């Protein structure tokens, strides 16, 4: 597994690299936002450890641009920041980051977060399924999803890795009610660290991409006091 470390403080970047290389990962470093975008396109890493405060483009902009134009791999993004306020976590995750780690952090916690993200990728790689509902087709093997607009017209959905995994979870379990804890376990695994409300952020992002009217959802329904369920007839 290849990991790109985007961190402008050399000592922190070196600590991250040594920690992850001890875990058996292949690591590369760069130290500003513009260079990071170039390296992502050239090297197609599996995961990016991305600092929020960077020269040139900051981490939020880098994250947003990667999600807007994914390459052959849509890498997991673990965002780092020295700021711990809730608003920063929400903003970071809303741009497409998969997890969020506040400095100072322990090498052990960093390694656990990275392993948890990459385990999700390995688990999903072993699946070979196509799920079809009345309005959606999700090909797990090819990592593609589309929505049926009419009997003769469909559109490809441009989803981040986490959005794709969330949609797959929903369409493979039509009508099931999921609480936040269950979705976290399904999507992040056992080593999730953070606020359960990150689920709400990603559900909102997915609704914007698949719902005709995200403010009045047709497919992803909120079950008050519990969580979410996906409603769409089987094809």
In order, the DSSP letters of 45-76 are: -SEEEEESS-SSS-HHHHHHHHHHS--SS--E
Mean pLDDT, the chain, whole residue set = 85
Q: Are residues 71 and 106 in the same domain?
A: yes
Residue 235 lies in a domain: no
Backbone angles phi, psi at 50, to 5 degrees: -120, 115
115: tokens are 């392993």
119 and 148, same domain (yes or no): no
Question: Do residue 27 and residue 120 come from a single domain?
Answer: yes
Does the residue 145 lie in any domain? yes
What integer pLDDT is reported at residue 18 of this predicted model?
Answer: 95
- Do 18 and 52 reside in the same domain of the chain? yes
**Residue 216, domain member (yes or no):** yes
pLDDT grade for 193, boundaries at 50, 70 and 90? low
* 51 lies in some domain: yes
Cα–Cα nearest to 49, from 197, 40, 165: 40
Nearest CA to 225 out of 192, 193, 186, 179 is that of 179
Give percent of the chain with pLDDT exceeding 70. Answer: 86
Q: What is the model's pLDDT at position 29?
A: 96
For residue 109, tell me if it sits in a domain.
yes
Tell me: do 221 and 205 sit in the same domain: yes
For 154-174, how does the pLDDT look when each residue is reduced to its tens digit (9 = 90+)? Answer: 899 999 888 998 999 999 888
Buried b (16+ CB within 10 A) or exposed e, 109-143: ebbbbbbbbbebbeeeeeeeeebebebbbbebeeb
Give me the pLDDT at residue 140, please: 82
The CATH code of the domain that includes 106 is: 3.40.50.2300
Q: How confident is the model over 203-226, as pLDDT tens digits? A: 999 999 999 999 999 999 999 989
Mean pLDDT of 109-121: 81
Residues 83 and 148 in one domain: no
Residue 218 is classified by DSSP as S
Tell me, yes or no, whether 149 and 210 share the same domain.
yes
Residue 183 shares a structural domain with residue 94: no
Which of residues 143 and 125 earns the better pLDDT score?
143
Strands (E), the chain: 2-6, 26-30, 47-51, 76-81, 99-102, 130-132, 136-139, 144-150, 153-156, 177-179, 220-223, 227-230
Q: Mean pLDDT, to the nearest integer, of 140-148?
A: 86
Residue 194 domain-assigned (yes or no)? yes
Local confidence band at 99 (pLDDT 50, 70, 90 cut-offs): confident
Domain boundary among 125, 146, 170: 125
Q: Is pLDDT larger for residue 125 or for residue 234?
A: 234
Domain limit, last residue, from 71, 102, 125? 125
| Structural domain contains residue 94 | yes
Residue-wise pLDDT tens digits, 26-76 = 999 999 999 999 999 999 898 999 998 898 899 989 998 888 776 667 788
Cβ pair 205, 163 in contact under 8 A: yes
Q: Residue 188: which of 97, 83, 127 has the closest Cα? A: 97
- The reply to whether 119 and 168 lie within a common domain is no
Largest separation between any pair of C-alpha atoms in the chain: 57
% of residues, the chain, pLDDT over 90: 42
For position 30, what pLDDT does the model report? 95
- Of 78, 109, 125, the residue that ends a domain is 125
**pLDDT score, position 113:** 86
- Answer whether residue 179 is part of any domain: yes
pLDDT at residue 152, as a whole number: 82
**What is residue 198's predicted lDDT score, i.e. its pLDDT?**
84
Domain limits at 28?
2-125
> Once rounded to an integer, what is the mean pLDDT over residues 127-153?
84
CATH number of the CATH domain containing 165: 1.10.10.10
Q: Is the pLDDT of residue 129 over 90?
A: no
CA–CA–CA angle 157, 187, 225 (5° rounding) = 95
Residues 52 and 155 placed together within one structural domain of the fold: no
Same-domain pairing of 88 and 203: no
Domain count, the chain: 2
* 196: three-class secondary structure by DSSP: coil
User: 102 with 138, same domain?
Assistant: no
């Amino acid at each position: 597994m290849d990991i790109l470390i985007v961190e402008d403080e050399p000592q922190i970047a070196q600590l991250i690299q040594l920690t992850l290389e001890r875990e058996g990962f292949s690591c590369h470093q760069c130290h500003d936002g513009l260079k990071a975008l170039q390296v992502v396109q050239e090297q197609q890493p599996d995961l990016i450890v991305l600092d929020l405060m960077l020269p040139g483009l900051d981490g939020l902009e880098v994250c947003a641009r990667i999600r807007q134009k994914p390459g052959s791999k849509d890498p997991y993004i673990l965002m780092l920041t020295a700021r711990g306020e809730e608003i920063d976590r929400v903003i970071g995750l809303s741009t497409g980051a998969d997890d969020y780690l506040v400095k100072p952090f322990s090498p052990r916690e960093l390694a656990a977060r990275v392993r948890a993200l990459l385990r999700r990728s390995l688990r999903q790689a072993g699946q070979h399924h196509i799920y079809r509902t009345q309005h959606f087709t999700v090909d797990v093997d090819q990592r593609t999803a589309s929505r049926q607009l009419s009997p003769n017209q469909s559109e490809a959905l441009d989803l981040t890795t986490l959005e794709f995994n969330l949609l797959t979870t929903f369409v493979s379990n039509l009508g099931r009610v999921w609480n936040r804890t269950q979705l976290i376990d399904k999507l992040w695994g056992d080593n999730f660290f953070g606020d359960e409300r990150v689920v709400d952020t990603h559900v909102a992002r997915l609704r914007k991409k698949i719902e005709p009217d995200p403010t009045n959802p047709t497919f992803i329904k909120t079950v008050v006091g519990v969580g979410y369920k996906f409603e769409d007839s089987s094809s």
